């Protein structure tokens, strides 16, 4: 762990640790070149048993793939602004994102014995889908691989940020291989079966879809979903969403379960398809409500136009009478 006040690269002054995990540590830092700017420094863990050549290869790979992350520019992603190696340790520098994460939102909902509103959850889902679609359309495509409530922050404005690129993968378009930027296996409750084990080279955009769908399951039910390994051994271990929260629509439940299909081929082919499956009906319902409201307002206006005209005429007569009486 880096001590408070440590300065890296003659620029980043460590303020405090803000995260610690198997893949390394995250620090809140002050950028001395840009007064007032705070950033997050992610220290990437290197396998202590790796030989010198393996470490050198990993660092070259880190620089190559971190440069790809630095080119990402999307409102729902924190901007990666720098990356460097210091004392044989790799660091990724990105925007510090304030606000609560969605895990905290679930905790508060449980504490107050309520569920998060489905419409609000779907509005968050739309933003996450937009970010993933942007990542997946890069050349080469970029996978997140660790989508979960604690890696999604919501700012005061309602803007969602998908944070923690610690497990990002960059896919090679030439074949089915993926290149791991930073080694890691994700979080069990949100990890698809194909991402388990040492050889997880079969992960693709549908792995991110599974993790997002599992995250939505948690947000809608206040319960973490059954792990993929458990579901493989006991297929009925994943409880229906509407059993846990009857207020959720059947449409949303079907979409989430489609995203959580055990086999990648049974999931939506890409995030755009998943977003449409999840939100298209919701959008239509919203449009219908707005259309009904507009129709009712027009009908009310039509019914009352005679009264409004009479009232306007009376107002004009009163104004004229008052004016000429002076």
Tens of pLDDT along the chain (326 residues) come to 899 999 999 999 999 998 876 567 889 999 999 988 999 998 877 666 777 787 777 778 778 778 888 899 999 999 999 999 888 788 999 999 988 999 999 999 999 999 999 999 999 999 999 999 999 999 888 888 889 999 999 999 999 999 876 545 666 554 444 433 433 456 889 999 998 865 555 788 999 999 999 999 999 999 999 999 999 999 999 999 999 999 999 999 999 999 999 999 999 999 999 999 999 866 544 444 344 444 454 444 444 444 444 444 544 334 434 444 44
How much is the pLDDT for 23? 61
Residue environment code for 111-121, b if the CB has 16+ CB neighbours within 10 A, otherwise e: eeeebbebeeb
Query: How remote is the C-alpha of 106 from its chain's centroid?
Result: 15
How much is the pLDDT for 166? 52
C-alpha distances in Å from residue 214, one per residue of 96, 135, 147, 249: 26, 19, 9, 17
Query: Per the CATH hierarchy, to which homologous superfamily does domain 9-95 belong?
Result: Phosphorylase Kinase; domain 1 (3.30.200.20)
Boundaries of every domain in the chain: 9-95, 100-282
Class of domain 100-282: mainly alpha
Cβ contact 147:211 at 8 Å: yes
> Hey, how many other C-beta atoms are within 10 angstroms of the C-beta on 21?
14
Q: Catalytic annotation on 73? A: no
Number of residues written out for the chain: 326
Write down the residue that tokens 């790799």 correspond to.
90
User: E strands, the chain, where?
Assistant: 7-8, 12-21, 24-31, 38-44, 80-86, 89-95, 100-101, 142-143, 152-154, 160-162, 169-171, 178-180
DSSP β-ladder status, 152-154 and 169-171: unpaired
Q: What whole-number distance in Å separates Cα of residue 316 and Cα of residue 2? A: 77
Give me the catalytic one of 101, 146, 200, 204: 146
């Amino acid at each position: 762990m880096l001590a408070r006040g440590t300065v890296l690269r003659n620029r980043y002054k460590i303020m405090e640790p803000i995260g610690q995990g198997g893949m390394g540590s995250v620090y809140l830092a002050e950028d001395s070149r840009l007064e007032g700017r705070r950033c997050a420094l992610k220290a990437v863990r290197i396998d202590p048993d790796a030989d010198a050549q393996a470490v050198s290869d990993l660092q070259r790979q880190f620089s190559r793939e971190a440069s790809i992350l630095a080119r990402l520019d999307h409102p729902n992603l924190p901007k990666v602004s720098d990356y460097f190696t210091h004392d044989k340790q790799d660091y990724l520098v990105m925007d510090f994102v304030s606000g609560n994460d969605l895990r905290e939102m679930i905790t508060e909902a449980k504490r107050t014995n309520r569920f998060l509103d489905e419409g609000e959850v779907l509005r968050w889902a739309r933003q996450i889908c937009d970010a993933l679609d942007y990542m997946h359309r890069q050349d080469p495509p970029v996978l997140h691989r660790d989508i979960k409530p604690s890696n999604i922050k919501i700012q005061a404005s309602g803007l969602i940020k998908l944070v923690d690129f610690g497990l990002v993968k960059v896919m090679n378009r030439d074949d089915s291989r993926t290149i791991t930027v930073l080694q890691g296996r994700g979080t069990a409750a949100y990890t698809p079966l194909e991402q388990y084990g040492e050889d997880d080279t079969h992960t693709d955009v549908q792995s991110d879809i599974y993790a997002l769908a599992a995250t939505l399951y948690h947000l809608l039910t206040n319960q973490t979903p059954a792990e993929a390994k458990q579901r493989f051994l006991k297929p009925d271990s994943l409880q229906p969403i509407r059993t846990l929260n009857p207020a959720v629509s059947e449409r949303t439940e079907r979409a989430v379960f489609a995203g959580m299909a055990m086999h990648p081929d049974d999931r939506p082919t890409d995030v755009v398809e998943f977003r449409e499956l999840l939100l298209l009906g919701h959008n239509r319902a919203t449009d219908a409500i707005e259309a009904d409201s507009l129709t009712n307002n027009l009908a009310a206006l039509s019914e009352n136009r005679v009264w409004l005209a009479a009232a306007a005429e009376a107002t004009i007569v009163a104004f004229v009478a008052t004016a000429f009486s002076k």
